[in-house]
Amino acid sequence: MRVLDSTFLIDMIRGDQKTISLRGEKQLFLTTQISMFEVIRGLFYRQMAPAKIHQIMDMFENIRVLQLDDSAVIKAAEISAGLMKKGEPVPDADCLIAGIALSKGVSTIITKNVKHFSRIKGLTVETY
């Protein structure tokens, strides 16, 4: 299992050809509530039509969305504090995404944001 980061989901919505081969794989794909928020926020920011927003929401019906629960919050806080102590902070949203994934036993993320996610111990980063 692999978690799809916001960058992948946005590129998928835009019809980026690089996402097609990964989407064709027969495995369960996951994302997080944080990535879902980032995608939907972008739609509202771009003032997308309500029909487009509902279409994107339908896309999330086919992807398992991992929840931000207490164990994910604790893991994200541990990640964030550890990186801050090393002088290598990562944005809170990325720490939350990683915390959700790792707390659920998922250690691979598909993203274009290699710079941030590669700093997180225990997380394998795949790009496309």
Domain residue extents for the chain: 2-126
Residue 53 CB contacts under 8 Å (≥ 6 apart), including other chains? 40, 43, 44
Element (H, E) at 4: strand 2-4
| 119 and 43 Cβ atoms separated by less than 8 Å | no
And the tokens for 76?
A: 């994200």
How far apart, in Å, are the Cα atoms of 15 and each of 2, 19, 89, 106, 117?
20, 8, 32, 26, 24
And the tokens for 22?
A: 């990964």
8-state DSSP, 20? H
Residue 18 CB contacts under 8 Å (≥ 6 apart), including other chains? 11, 128
Proportion of the chain above pLDDT 70, given as a percent: 97
pLDDT tens per residue, range 55-85:
888 888 889 999 999 999 999 999 999 999 9
| Amino acid 112: pLDDT | 96
Most confident of 4-13, 23-32, 94-103: 94-103
Assign domain 2-126 to its CATH superfamily.
Answer: 5'-nuclease (3.40.50.1010)
| Amino acid 9: pLDDT | 94
pLDDT tens per residue, range 106-122:
999 999 999 999 999 99
